[in-house]
Structure 1
Amino acid sequence: MDDKVRARYRKILFLTWFLTLDLIMFGAFVRLTDSGLGCPDWPGCYGNITPVGALQDIREAVKVMPDGPVTLPKAWIEMIHRYVGALLGLLIICISWMAWRYREKFGQSPVLAFVALIAVCVQGAFGAWTVTHKLMPAVVTGHLLGGMLLLGLMTWLAAREKVHQQVQLVSKRWQPWVAFGLVLLFIQIALGGWVSTNYAALACMDFPTCHGQWLPEMDMKNGFSIVRGLGELPGGEMISQSALTAIHWVHRNFAFLVFAYLVTLGVRLRSQSGLQGPSNLLLILLGAQLLTGLTTIFFQWPLVIAVLHNGGAAGLVLTLVTLLVRIGRASLPGLSVQSR
């Protein structure tokens, strides 16, 4: 019976992990198709459970603004994202209950599962604020970071359930280096989210220079002012090109630092027993991120590539968290690595 319960727990856990990754990708699709206000209220769509019941309201909105944020396809995209998010929340509630109910049988503290539960609740709040604050860049970027944090927590939970090749105790010295790499990555994801939510991806359409210059005219102060509406400066004026250039330029150039650090880290960790798999994946994902990042510039931000770029960032998060978990379970040669 204990084995069946543990097997059921693992199935739910890995399904939830996979769904979290998918939801991050779909969230990028929502953002990049301008569907975030496809249903301009929350949690329903004009007070209805589905866009079908809101057809009249949607048609009226389209009449007023034919090219506006509300259309039937965008409403469905937005609501599907909400449905999947609700399902994810229910699954994490189930995981938390099982982690607490069977904590002695599993031999694990349920604290991490409850942290994930708190994180998904906060994500739900940010999802609501995204709509009620009309896609305010700070809120949308916070929603993205929350999704990445939740993915990291689910990866941590899932990685604890897997048996892997033994990692020797000497690899412990790399733990702070991987943790620092994860911090750098989250900063870069925040910068990338700021680019996306401010629609600054095409602010510089040449590479490696920007507007033909290494240091173009930039308005850092207004570009990185946090409390302001979408497409606006703090004073309510339309955001300037120089502010958008600053947003893009910082994200692009900080990426070089993160890329160099993580490539060096990945190459060094490939020699460590038990870390070769995630280290190789780290290097592959970094190459893919470089390719998709450049492609968004040269091909003017195609939707599929932009979504893949967001997914690559999620892949880097789960890879670095996996490395941290494995290093944290390092042991002396000859000692077995337990799945708990």
Structure 2
Amino acid sequence: MSAVSLTQLAGMGLLVAVLALCVVWASGDSNKYRKLVWMTLFLTFDLIMFGAFTRLTDSGLGCPDWPGCYGHSNPLLAHAHISAAQDAMPTGPVTVIKAWIEMTHRYFAMGVGALIIALMAIAWIRRFKSTQREAKLSPWYPTMLLALVCLQGAFGAWTVTQKLQPIIVTTHLLLGLTLLAMLAWLGARQNDHLPVAATAARLASPALIAVILLVIQIALGGWVSTNYAALACNDFPLCHGRLVPEMDFANGFTLWRHLGMTADGEYLPFQALTAIHWTHRSFAFVVIAYVGWLAHKALRIHGLRATGRWLLIAIGLQLLTGLSTIFLDWPLAIAVAHNGGAALLLVLLVMLNFKTRHAPGFQAVPAVPNKPLIVDHLHPHS
């Protein structure tokens, strides 16, 4: 790309970031840094949703080069190249609509990157100006976020240049969700949390296990999506009328191979797609049962009740959207919502992990004569 095109492309990303910064500046929140963290998390969540939309509409190669579109900063300037590709293959990966979808995704990604740079710059400036070092404003955490964004950008480029190779696309998704989780943790550090009961510490290890299980399930879901295996089983609770259908795990879970092909260069057999779908579906019940149990435990602990309720709602909606993709033949809106539900579950579990480890506990206060002290009811709200 020319220097002019790169400048124009950067300008589109900066425009997204500036709009977000204007919202932060105009907000009534006195803690603008905290507001910026949560605004960045919100846009990252939206970016993940739009990334799912890009993937599910098969728009990942809408512009077959990177970072621009046929060397230009937007599809309008590349219209001649896009139209020629579309005329040659009307149902192919390059169309005008798909090009705009792909480039819009890139603009938002650059905007998130610019906001993280802003977070890092503010944190470092405050560190140099302040004589007291607050954990909330440590600059090292946003610096790690910037490093992760750079790695995520590299995988975004490889997603295009490697022609949607499944392992690269899945890794790109997982890195995006890692960024979301880290931003949720940073946001939790900025908030003032209600005290939690001492029994909350008992859920620290179970909450961490829940995150691990969810990440495995998200990786399996990403593998389903990137291999286009969502409709490999179109009945439920059975698959092709059987509890355990005929499957090819060896080819289905060979990581380094081209899209739709085996490692030997043959076409991927349908039994491999069935294995991918069936594994994701089966493991979902493990995650639902475990997260449901964890949410039930959280409902019984002061300070965690709201998070527990949201977890139950999110896991219920996730089950509903997952089943709907099967019975309704994979409608796009529900498929995108299913991806968003996984991201929401991750944010909620990160918040639960933070509260079980770092939220303040109940403080003992002197008892008033003739008034028994009931500590667990000092802060009845969750």
- For this structure pair, what is the TM-score category when the shorter chain's length is used for normalisation? over 0.9
2:121 is aligned with 1:94? no
* Residue 251 of structure 1, aligned match among 280, 297, 306: 280
Taking structure 1 as reference, are residues 110 and 189 closer, same or farther at Cα in structure 2, changes over 3 Å only? same
Partner of 2:295: 266
What is the alpha-carbon distance in structure 2 between the residues aligned to residue 46 and residue 277 of structure 1? 49
Q: Is the 8 A contact 1:205 1:211 kept in 2?
A: yes
Partner of 1:48: 72
Q: Is the 8 A contact 1:168 1:330 kept in 2?
A: no
* Residue 190 of structure 1, aligned match among 208, 213, 219: 219
Q: Is the 8 A contact 1:39 1:79 kept in 2?
A: yes
The RMSD of aligned alpha carbons is: 1.7
Paired AA for residue 277 in structure 1: A
Structure 2: any 5+ residue segments left out of the alignment? Answer: 1-27, 366-378
Q: How does 1:75-94 map to 2 (within 5 A)?
A: 75-94=99-118
Q: Is the 8 A contact 1:171 1:330 kept in 2?
A: no
* Residue 174 of structure 1, aligned match among 200, 203, 220: 203
Superposition deviation, residue 237 in structure 1: 1.0
Q: Is the 8 A contact 2:38 2:187 kept in 1?
A: yes
Q: How does 1:1-340 map to 2 (within 5 A)?
A: 7-103=31-127, 104=130, 107-108=134-135, 109-334=138-363
3-state SS, counterpart of residue 151 of structure 1: helix
Q: Deviations over 1:107-129 (max 9, x none)?
A: 12222212211111111111101
Paired AA for residue 287 in structure 2: V
Partner of 2:375: none
Structure 1: any 5+ residue segments left out of the alignment? Answer: none
Tell which deviates more after alignment, 102-111 or 189-198: 102-111
TM-score (norm 1): 0.95
Q: Is the 8 A contact 2:156 2:172 kept in 1?
A: yes
State the aligned residue count: 334
Taking structure 1 as reference, are residues 47 and 270 closer, same or farther at Cα in structure 2, changes over 3 Å only? same
What is the alpha-carbon distance in structure 1 between the residues aligned to residue 50 and residue 276 of structure 2? 24
What is the alpha-carbon distance in structure 2 between the residues aligned to residue 75 and residue 257 of structure 1? 38
Q: Is the 8 A contact 2:166 2:257 kept in 1?
A: yes
3-state SS, counterpart of residue 52 of structure 1: coil
Tell which deviates more after alignment, 324-333 or 197-206: 324-333
What is the alpha-carbon distance in structure 1 between the residues aligned to residue 164 and residue 235 of structure 2? 28
What is the alpha-carbon distance in structure 2 between the residues aligned to residue 204 and residue 216 of structure 1? 9
Q: Deviations over 1:214-241 (max 9, x none)?
A: 1110000000000001111111111111
Superposition deviation, residue 169 in structure 1: 3.0
Superposition deviation, residue 6 in structure 1: 7.1
Paired AA for residue 92 in structure 2: G
What is the alpha-carbon distance in structure 2 between the residues aligned to residue 106 and residue 213 of structure 1? 61
What is the alpha-carbon distance in structure 1 between the residues aligned to residue 361 and residue 328 of structure 2? 51
Paired AA for residue 319 in structure 1: L
Q: Is the 8 A contact 1:138 1:226 kept in 2?
A: yes
Superposition deviation, residue 11 in structure 1: 2.2
What is the alpha-carbon distance in structure 2 between the residues aligned to residue 106 and residue 72 of structure 1? 51
3-state SS, counterpart of residue 199 of structure 1: coil
What is the alpha-carbon distance in structure 2 between the residues aligned to residue 256 and residue 8 of structure 1? 41
Q: Is the 8 A contact 1:165 1:273 kept in 2?
A: no
What is the alpha-carbon distance in structure 1 between the residues aligned to residue 61 and residue 291 of structure 2? 36
Superposition deviation, residue 98 in structure 1: 1.4
- Where in structure 1 do 4 or more consecutive aligned residues deviate above 3 Å? 103-106
Q: Is the 8 A contact 2:66 2:157 kept in 1?
A: yes
3-state SS, counterpart of residue 86 of structure 1: helix
What is the alpha-carbon distance in structure 1 between the residues aligned to residue 360 and residue 76 of structure 2? 57
Q: Deviations over 1:55-111 (max 9, x none)?
A: 110111012211100001100000000000001001001101212222345612222
What is the alpha-carbon distance in structure 2 between the residues aligned to residue 192 and residue 106 of structure 1? 41
What is the alpha-carbon distance in structure 1 between the residues aligned to residue 177 and residue 364 of structure 2? 33
What percent of counterpart residues are identical? Answer: 53
Q: Is the 8 A contact 1:28 1:310 kept in 2?
A: yes
